[in-house]
Chain A
Amino acid sequence: MAQLRLDYAEFQRLNAEIVAIGPDGPNAFRRFWESQQMPFIGLADIGSKVAELYHQEVNIFKLGRMPAVLVVDKRGVIRYHHYGRSMADIPANSEVLTVLQEIVEDEKHE
């Protein structure tokens, strides 16, 4: 997530909000968020219910303990997903930004 933060302004420029979801309890989550002064939204997924929901309903990946990144457009449609094969396996910012750029371009032609 530190990686995402480096380009936060770029994400905002492409009309994207970054929402981090994690298994930590709300207090630990909030303490970490505040100590790091994270600029984006952080959600404590108590009991990993949302992670489980995405595994069951989206079924593109098994969330387990691996990181995953999805891009959801303004219609609520998933436009990109990356499931990490290892704990450090998250996509490069440029890859996600390219998807957002395409979404923005698509909107111009609607």
Chain B
Amino acid sequence: MKDVLAPDFELTDTTGRAVRLSDFRGKKNVVLVFNRGFA
């Protein structure tokens, strides 16, 4: 797996703010954690 771009997406966070993966481009590394749910 070489240079696979992570697909961009937009979701709303727990504070109601829209978050896009591309928001972090050029700024931060991102650890994406897909969890199974907790509720």
Interface residues of A (CB under 8 A from B): 1, 4, 11, 14-26, 28-34, 38, 41-46, 49-51, 53-54, 57-58, 60, 63, 65-78, 81, 87, 90, 96, 100, 103
Say what secondary structure dominates the interface of chain A: mixed
In the complex, are the beta carbons of A74 and B26 less than 8 A apart?
yes
What's the Cα separation between A19 and B38 when bound, in Å?
Answer: 15
Using a CB–CB distance below 8 Å, which chain B residues touch chain A? Answer: 1, 3-9, 11-14, 19, 21-22, 24-39
CB distance from B13 to the nearest CB of A (A): 5
Which residues of B lie under 8 Å from residue A4 when comparing CB positions?
31, 33
Point out the residues of chain A lying under 8 angstroms from B4, CB to CB: 58, 60, 77-78
Q: Judge whether B33 and A44 touch: CB under 8 Å.
A: no
- Give the contacting residue for B24; candidates A14, A17, A22; CB below 8 A: A17
Which of B7, B11, B22, B32 meets A44, CB within 8 Å?
Answer: B11
Q: Taking CB as reference atom, which chain A residue is nearest B9?
A: A50
Bound CA–CA A58/B31 (angstroms): 16
Cross-chain contact B7 with A18 (CB below 8 angstroms):
no
A-B CB proximity, top 4 nearest: A28-B39, A43-B11, A33-B14, A16-B29
- In angstroms, Cα B9 to Cα A70, docked, is 15
In the complex the two chains form, is B36's CB within 8 Å of A22's CB?
yes
